[in-house]
Amino acid sequence: MNILSIENAKTSKGERLGYLTGIIYMLPDNRTCPLASKAGCLQACLVHAGYASIYKSVNESRLARRELFYNQRDLFFKQLDKEIKSFLRKADREKMIPVIRLNGTSDIIYENIPYLGYKNIFEAYPNLQFYDYTKIAARLSRDLPSNYDLTFSYSGTSSYRDSVNKALKSKNRIAVVFKNGFPKEYMGRKVIDGDNTDLRFLDSDNVIVGLKAKGPAKTSNSDFIVDTLGIQ
């Protein structure tokens, strides 16, 4: 079982800009995504879309990665480290810039987790760019490693409003899933098209990153998705 995925639709668009992306997919639960229930996004999560909706083995592998992470953390990191080194060699051969997204379908606070003798994985690879989305607004105000970029993920549920307000007070960009097109502005911020690439660290701060509803999100009535038809 590989931990790091390289060929996937979510990140392949960055290749035309010269970036090769590695990403980790786990099956989300209340440990890997602690605010998923509050944000109301678990049902509409893309973990149920694409090949996962066709092949049972896809989410079985994601479950296996999650359980390995929680039950055999050292083994998980040793395997990941081996794969990162192989990934870096591949990027070098192909003359591409390597970047890694640790939380493809999770929201694990990696900056707080020791990694094979280092303070965290970012310290182990100081010249490697990492990036993620997060629903944990408190992470935005922390002194994050310089090679780790975070984009806050929006939801309109009332129980999640405090988190959104904290994110709005910061200059961090906020990702919002829209259906029926993108508005020009949302919550007082300019909306940019986030579907061109997944490389959020290239985006400006203080913007709304518009993401088109995909998979189960297309028909979901979750407050995680904003219906543009309802915006005046």
Domain that holds residue 76: 9-230
pTM of the model: 0.89
Of 31-35, 65-69, 126-130, 194-198, which range is least confident? 31-35
Amino acid in the structure at residue 146: S
CA distance 79 to 154: 32
Task: Identify the band that residue 51 occupies on the pLDDT scale cut at 50, 70 and 90.
Answer: very low
Residue 32: φ, ψ to 5° = -75, -25
Within-domain flag for 4: no
Question: What's the domain count of the chain?
Answer: 1
132 within domain boundaries: yes
Residue 3 lies in a domain: no
Positive/negative CA dihedral, 199, 204, 206, 211 = negative
Chain position carrying tokens 């998979």: 215
Instruction: Give tens-digit pLDDT for 60-110.
Output: 889 999 999 999 999 999 999 999 999 999 999 999 999 999 999 899 999
1: in domain? no
In a domain, 58, yes or no: yes
Q: Is residue 146 part of a domain?
A: yes
Please list, residue by residue across 195-206, b when 16 or more beta carbons sit within 10 angstroms of its beta carbon and e when fewer do. eebbbbbebeee
Q: Could you say which DSSP state residue 124 is in?
A: H
Assigned domain for 180 exists: yes
Nearest to 5 by CA among 93, 126, 105: 105
Q: What is the pLDDT of residues 112-168, one digit of tens each?
A: 999 999 999 999 999 999 999 999 999 997 789 999 999 999 988 888 899 999 999
Checking if the pLDDT of 52 tops 50, the result is no
Q: Is 16 within the bounds of a domain?
A: yes
